[in-house]
Copies of this chain bind each other. A is one copy, B any other.
Amino acid sequence: MCYVKGYLGRVRADATRNLERVLSTGARMLADDPSATVAAIAAAAGVDRRTVYRRFASREDLMAAVYAARYDAVEEVIKAARLHEAPVAVALHLYVEGIIAVNRKWPVETSRMLREVTLRERRRRLIDDVDAFLQRATDEGLLRSDLPPGWVATVLPPLLEQAAEGLSELSAAQAADVVVDTLLRGVGVPRAR
């Protein structure tokens, strides 16, 4: 169990700052190498290893906190994009732009399963939300309906991941333009028919 949750007393400002540093640095390190040691993460965050263990009960717990931080951001993006009510074209663009930003801030790979049940449920819900949106986008005529089921849902996450790091010189909004454009229209030159 993470020490931060449930802690209701007074917390010093530098303590929370250190904690955020550990979280964001940990996200970067774990994204780069999922088997990064706690010592390496602590060193990169400019913090003693012991300090990490004072905040997080275990390495697994730290990872869970990183995942949770990412899921927080993703849920906010989905909420802001109003995936199940906004016009599909608008929602898609908002979602793409938001997730690219999230991928840059929390670049962790969440596909690797984690023991914590609540996290897996959150992940499942997020996937379901996006699936439902893509279904709606198909029903409303934005997306093609002649593709293998789940193909767009499968392709979208890695696409957003590549956009986050591959289009690093572009802002999230600009990168979203590229992604949505190439996703919908493809990278091929339209041929006269």
Name A residues whose Cβ lies closer than 8 Å to a Cβ of B.
33-35, 112, 141-144, 147-148, 150-152, 154-155, 158-159, 161-162, 166-167, 170, 178, 182-189
Contacts and interface: CB of A to CB of B under 8 A. Distances in A.
Nearest to A159: B155
10 contacts: A148-B178, A152-B187, A154-B166, A155-B166, A155-B187, A158-B162, A159-B159, A183-B186, A185-B186, A185-B188
A81 to B, nearest CB: 18
A34 B33 CA distance: 9
Contacts of A184: 186-188
A59 B87 CA distance: 52
Contact of A150 (B144, B159, B166): B166
Contacts of A189: 141-144
Nearest to A150: B166
A155 B182 contact: yes
B188 A144 contact: yes
A34 B32 CA distance: 12
Contacts of A159: 155, 158-159
